[in-house]
A and B are shown apart, each in its own frame.
Chain A
């Protein structure tokens, strides 16, 4: 950013970042976050493509709904959707310079992430107990296609890592909010907006994973 642009951001219309020819008012941070999200989406795309090919070309793939708990996972999906709502409300509060409101909604978003992770841990423990391993799988005492467990843990585990990272990232932003860093007006809220983009992406990916891995 040039000195003139910094001066512009500091004084003139400091509610908006400088206008870019291609990205409008989007901040550099927002463009960077979107590029990260796009490449992260490619990573999920790679895993889901491998899963799809292994599954479509196999003759003995189990019916996921007979092994996985759809009801519990639907509830976890709903929790993530709720946390997306609390996340957008946190961004709105930060824009409106409401420090307590931002902190409250960020806290609820973190809580949603933790509940999701708790459900996932419970699900994994239950599945491992029932015989679904990372590399070898059996169900009700009968050997089943090992790739069912491998792909399940690879895809949902990679997503779970994202939820975990998101909770850590959100916690950092919550601490900054409590110090008053993101509710000073202007574009100071953008850090909250950026963690929001990441969090919604994690929600968006889960929507696809829930469909392809659990429901189909």
Chain B
């Protein structure tokens, strides 16, 4: 896999330059993002074990949410090229975030009153 990737990197480095200079050298970034996503996934799997105690529940939730949002951002910004797009495309991409904010708002009541109440 590693030799192959280096091979690809070398090929694309020569093949995609010229008129596409700003897109030409992304392969190194893609591989870095891929490795970061893999490492973060491994970290994520161990978080519930490390913070399994009841009194750690909030830390566990917060950490897992931060890890998930970070991974989602990496995919969106780099694999989906949002980092290199104009603001308008980013605004379109951000619209589902409203749903997340709405969900948090809806959960606030239970968060304060406790479940089943």
Task: Decide whether A and B assemble into one complex.
Answer: yes
Mark A residues whose CB is within 8 Å of B. Answer: 13, 15-16, 22-24, 26, 30-31, 34-35, 37-38, 41-42, 44-46, 48-49, 52-53, 56-59, 65, 70-71, 74, 77-78, 81-82, 84-85, 87-89, 92-93, 95-98, 101, 196-197, 200-201, 203-204, 207-208, 210-212, 215-216
Q: A56-B107, A89-B30 are in contact. Are A215 and B45 (CB under 8 A)?
A: yes
In the assembled complex, which residues on chain B have CB atoms less than 8 Å from the CB atom of A31? 89, 92
Q: List B29-78 residues whose CB lies under 8 Å from chain A.
A: 30-31, 34, 37-38, 41-42, 44-45, 47-48, 60-61, 64-65, 67-68, 71-72, 75-76
A81 CA / B35 CA spacing, docked (Å): 9
In the assembled complex, which residues on chain B have CB atoms less than 8 Å from the CB atom of A207? 68, 71-72, 75
Apart from A49-B99, A204-B75: 15 A-B pairs, beta carbons within 8 A = A22-B88, A30-B89, A34-B93, A45-B102, A53-B107, A58-B116, A92-B16, A95-B16, A95-B23, A101-B8, A196-B79, A200-B75, A203-B75, A211-B64, A211-B68
Give which listed residue, A52, A85, A92, A212, contacts B68 with CB less than 8 A.
Answer: A212
Contact assessment for A92 and B79 in the assembled complex, using a CB-CB cutoff below 8 Å: no
In the assembled complex, which residues on chain B have CB atoms less than 8 Å from the CB atom of A58? 115-116
Contact assessment for A81 and B44 in the assembled complex, using a CB-CB cutoff below 8 Å: no
Contact assessment for A42 and B23 in the assembled complex, using a CB-CB cutoff below 8 Å: no
Contact assessment for B115 and A38 in the assembled complex, using a CB-CB cutoff below 8 Å: no
Query: What count of chain B residues pass the 8 Å CB interface test?
Result: 52
Q: A211-B64, A216-B61 are in contact. Are A45 and B23 (CB under 8 A)?
A: no
A197 CA / B23 CA spacing, docked (Å): 16
Contact assessment for B107 and A215 in the assembled complex, using a CB-CB cutoff below 8 Å: no
Contact assessment for B68 and A88 in the assembled complex, using a CB-CB cutoff below 8 Å: no
Q: List B61-117 residues whose CB lies under 8 Å from chain A.
A: 61, 64-65, 67-68, 71-72, 75-76, 79-80, 85-86, 88-89, 92-93, 95-96, 98-100, 102-103, 106-107, 110-111, 115-116
Contact assessment for A78 and B38 in the assembled complex, using a CB-CB cutoff below 8 Å: yes
In the assembled complex, which residues on chain A have CB atoms less than 8 Å from the CB atom of B26? 88, 92
Q: Does B3 sit within 8 A of A, measured CB to CB?
A: no
Contact assessment for A57 and B106 in the assembled complex, using a CB-CB cutoff below 8 Å: no
Residue from A22, A93, A216 with most neighbouring chain B CB atoms (10 Å): A216
Residue from B60, B68, B98 with most neighbouring chain A CB atoms (10 Å): B68
Contact assessment for A13 and B85 in the assembled complex, using a CB-CB cutoff below 8 Å: no
In the assembled complex, which residues on chain B have CB atoms less than 8 Å from the CB atom of A22? 86, 88
Q: A49-B102, A216-B61 are in contact. Are A77 and B41 (CB under 8 A)?
A: yes
A104 CA / B112 CA spacing, docked (Å): 53
In the assembled complex, which residues on chain A have CB atoms less than 8 Å from the CB atom of B15? 95-98
Contact assessment for A49 and B16 in the assembled complex, using a CB-CB cutoff below 8 Å: no
